[in-house]
Amino acid sequence: MEQLLRNVFLFLSKNKLFTKLAKSYGLKFGAKNVVAGEKIDDAVKIIQKLNEEGKVVTIDHLGEFIDSKEEARASALECIEAIRAIADNGLDAQMSLKLTSMGLDISEEIVLENMYKILDVGASNNVFVTIDMEDYERCQQTIDIFKHLKNDYENIGTVLQSYLYRTMGDIKDLNYLSPNLRLVKGAYKESAEVAFPDKKDVDENYKKIIKTHLQNGNYTAIATHDDNMVDYTKQLEKQLSLDRGQFEFQMLYGFRKELQKQLVEEGYTVRVYVPYGDDWYGYFMRRLAERPANIAFVLKGLFKK
């Protein structure tokens, strides 16, 4: 049943008509619990509150289905506006973005053009930029672009997913760059040809990549809501005598708020991933797919203004 719901939500997340409709209807169906608002000003207020609570942030301007260079440039301008808002408001925040929003499905040239602009503004405002990882089809291209940009910029990182067979190889391959990586389990529907079909193997590989990247001496963001993985990281901290300046926990806005609070109280860095924008629908559906229990958010949202 859970697998069926997962597939339904992932299917819905890719529906262009629903994406369009959702954009014109505004934040609905409980999405407000996990999306910070439609405008950057909404997000700024939420980030200020999170910073006051001792949490740091990475902000994501939501965008799906970019079909033209103009849309990709507009999306890059939104990122630049967000970086300026971070700087102008003195927020403790970074930026996350997806290369498809920068025009990956159009041409690599437009992606690089957009990324240079964003990274320049990021560098001059001391704002770090993480390239989110998307589906397998785009993984190699994303890594190649990351490597290319990392030659010129310090303020850039990316994400690797433990559900892919290739990921331990990527951890080793990228080590020469001493990269700042966010490690996740993976959010897309992938075939057994490229990804572990069993959750148990995804979890085992997650532990392995966390340990290897930390042992290599690289900055590691452990982005998970899973208690087992948080506990595992705490064990590694002792076992490897890690400095807390070498890693952080990351969680999505609206998820595991108690755990976030507890980790802050224990002195860990907790970074909250804060999405905003009117293109909230695909993001919201992917979160429901990850954990159909999140459907409680939907029900709550139906009765809340």
Scanning 68-76, 79-87, 117-125, 186-194 for contacts with ligand FAD by CB under 6 A, the matching segment is 186-194
Q: Is 182 a catalytic residue?
A: yes
156 binds ligand FAD (CB under 6 A): no
For residues 151 and 129, give the distance between their C-alpha atoms in angstroms, rounded to a whole number.
14
Q: Is 22 exposed, middle or buried (0-12, 13-18, 19+ CB in 10 A)?
A: buried
**Catalytic-role residue among 92, 144, 166, 182:** 182
161 binds ligand FAD (CB under 6 A): yes
According to CB under 6 A, which one of 35, 290, 297, 301 is a site residue for ligand FAD? 290
DSSP conformational letter for 109: H
Q: Is 166 a catalytic residue?
A: no
Q: Is 278 exposed, middle or buried (0-12, 13-18, 19+ CB in 10 A)?
A: middle
44 binds ligand FAD (CB under 6 A): no
| Residues in the chain, total | 305
Contact 192, 231 (CB under 8 A): no
Task: Please say which residue, 28 or 286, places its beta carbon nearer to ligand FAD.
Answer: 286
Helix (H) or strand (E) holding 281: helix 281-290
Least separation, in Å, of the C-beta of 124 and ligand FAD?
25
Coil, helix or strand at residue 66: coil
DSSP conformational letter for 164: B
263 binds ligand FAD (CB under 6 A): no
**Catalytic-role residue among 60, 132, 170, 203:** 132
276 binds ligand FAD (CB under 6 A): no
Cite the active site residues.
132, 182
Residues in contact with ligand FAD by the rule CB under 6 A: 132-133, 159, 161, 184-188, 223-226, 250-252, 255-256, 273, 290-291
